[in-house]
Chains A and B, each alone.
Chain A
Amino acid sequence: GQNIDQPTEMTATEGAIVQINCTYQTSGFNGLFWYQQHAGEAPTFLSYNVLDGLEEKGRFSSFLSRSKGYSYLLLKELQMKDSASYLCAFMDSNYQLIWGAGTKLIIKP
């Protein structure tokens, strides 16, 4: 079967670093996505990993380990505007996105 799991909520301090983990199980895999979603808005694309390793993009980095079915999103130098839900999703063998429930990130001053 297929499933994907991420923490429901995390809290971090402005200026700090936070890592949001995502684990998944699937027989067919075509990459893992991270999206950011502010309340009441549609998701916006952050990153895509299909090979193992770390992809860095400014303050955000995403890591993938296909053998472990594991990914994380690393956010550095946190800003108040980073308060949002972060959704991980993997693309299955049918190129369909399977979504996690999202991690609500709360940034405190």
Chain B
Amino acid sequence: GAVVSQHPSWVICKSGTSVKIECRSLDFQATTMFWYRQFPKQSLMLMATSNEGSKATYEQGVEKDKFLINHASLTLSTLTVTSAHPEDSSFYICSARAGTGGWEEQFFGPGTRLTVL
């Protein structure tokens, strides 16, 4: 299957700082990328959907000014957690899809574990 990478795998930062997470599709062009957040023992929660070259669509309750998403190319999307706080500590996972509609398998990145002190 297709490969999606995320960087960094884990990050520890101080409260109030910003953290950028990269998601790359390595062997296919991802027209759509998804950002999820997963708290311990809970399911995946979709944060936002981004299509290359357009603004991300955020799910209800997700602050777009706090979680900045940029999908500048067909192989790269970034999530920036601005002014991070301890409650933002979570497992952030991106996924990528090649098509724009119909059934297209989502390929997941390995995830980024963020710990905010």
Given the interface pairs A101-B43, A102-B43, the reply to whether A31 lies near B103 with Cβ below 8 Å is yes
Stretch at the interface among A11-19, A65-73, A91-99: A91-99
Majority SS at the chain A contact face: loop
> Are A44 and B108 touching (Cβ within 8 A)?
yes
User: Taking CB as reference atom, which chain B residue is nearest A98?
Assistant: B46
Check: A64 CB closer than 8 A to any chain B CB.
Answer: no
Nearest Cβ on chain B to A5's Cβ, whole angstroms: 11
Residues from chain A with a CB closer than 8 A to the CB of B1 are 45
Report the number of A-B residue pairs with Cβ-Cβ less than 8 Å: 46
Check: A43 CB closer than 8 A to any chain B CB.
Answer: yes
Residues from chain A with a CB closer than 8 A to the CB of B93 are 42-43
Residues from chain A with a CB closer than 8 A to the CB of B49 are 96
CA distance A100 to B45 in the complex (A): 10
User: Taking CB as reference atom, which chain B residue is nearest A100?
Assistant: B43
Chain B, residues 67-97, CB within 8 Å of chain A (1/0): the string is 0000000000000000000000001010000
